Amino acid sequence: MSRQSAVLLDAMAYLDPELVLSAAPPAAAQYKKRRPLWVTAAAVIAAAALLMGAAGVLNRYFSLGGFEIESNEQHFSIDLSAKGPVAVKDGRLYFEMDGQRTDITDLVDEHTPYLYTAYNASGQVFSHILAGGTPEDYGWVEIWFDAAKQRYVWAGKHGEISGNGLLGQDLEPAAGEEVADIMDCPWIAPGVEQIAASLN
């Protein structure tokens, strides 16, 4: 008997018998025929499809104003950290969209918003952005229609305040929705009224 075999037998003497009895079958089982890779891949894809079907596919997209949105049947969230389309430069307030920069300083104030409406290739409105305030204290809110859910979604920021929520077909807060502080900014209500008037 070689020294290695003796060491191995000696080591086996210290094994817990229950572990030895419940160990895997003999080495012959190690040479089991392997499945082709495509069979394993197909099984993984099928399982993923079943899971996604059960939980709903998580959609991730960006709003026109830059908010990152994630949603499916059980989940809806908006990342409110976007810089947004409104910026101050040299004491002037600018609205930046589609590579254009519009000086809106003299068009807005604490009670008057600037309204930007975006259209898709078919000429249908898909998003509205309101901007208001002053160069020292400004904000913006985006309102878009979620066709799948037949509701309006809003998200916005004003200074350090931010929020998001749902609006009904009449652009009033949806039933059960708590109104965020940002919706109290006086320039928002006139802008929402403008949007509501354009829908009729």
Rounded CA-CA distance 18/173 in Å is 65
Mean pLDDT, the chain, whole residue set = 74
* Confidence (pTM): 0.66
Whether 142 and 162 share a structural domain: yes
Alpha helices in 66-128 (DSSP H): none
What does the pLDDT read at residue 60?
73
Q: Is the pLDDT at 161 greater than 70, yes or no?
A: yes
Q: Is the pLDDT at 9 greater than 70, yes or no?
A: no
Residue 117 structural domain: 59-199
What does the pLDDT read at residue 55?
52
Whether 177 and 121 share a structural domain: yes
State residue 53 phi and psi, 5-degree precision: -65, -35
Whether 180 and 116 share a structural domain: yes
Whether 169 and 120 share a structural domain: yes
Q: Grade residue 190 by pLDDT with cuts at 50, 70 and 90.
A: very high
Q: Is the pLDDT at 17 greater than 90, yes or no?
A: no
Whether 117 and 22 share a structural domain: no
Give 146's contacts (C-beta < 8 A, 6+ positions apart). Answer: 152, 153
CB 188 within 8 A of CB 113: yes
Q: Grade residue 117 by pLDDT with cuts at 50, 70 and 90.
A: very high
CB 87 within 8 A of CB 94: yes
Q: Is the pLDDT at 155 greater than 70, yes or no?
A: yes
What does the pLDDT read at residue 8?
37
Whether 113 and 189 share a structural domain: yes
Q: Is the pLDDT at 88 greater than 80, yes or no?
A: yes
User: How many domains does one find in the chain?
Assistant: 2
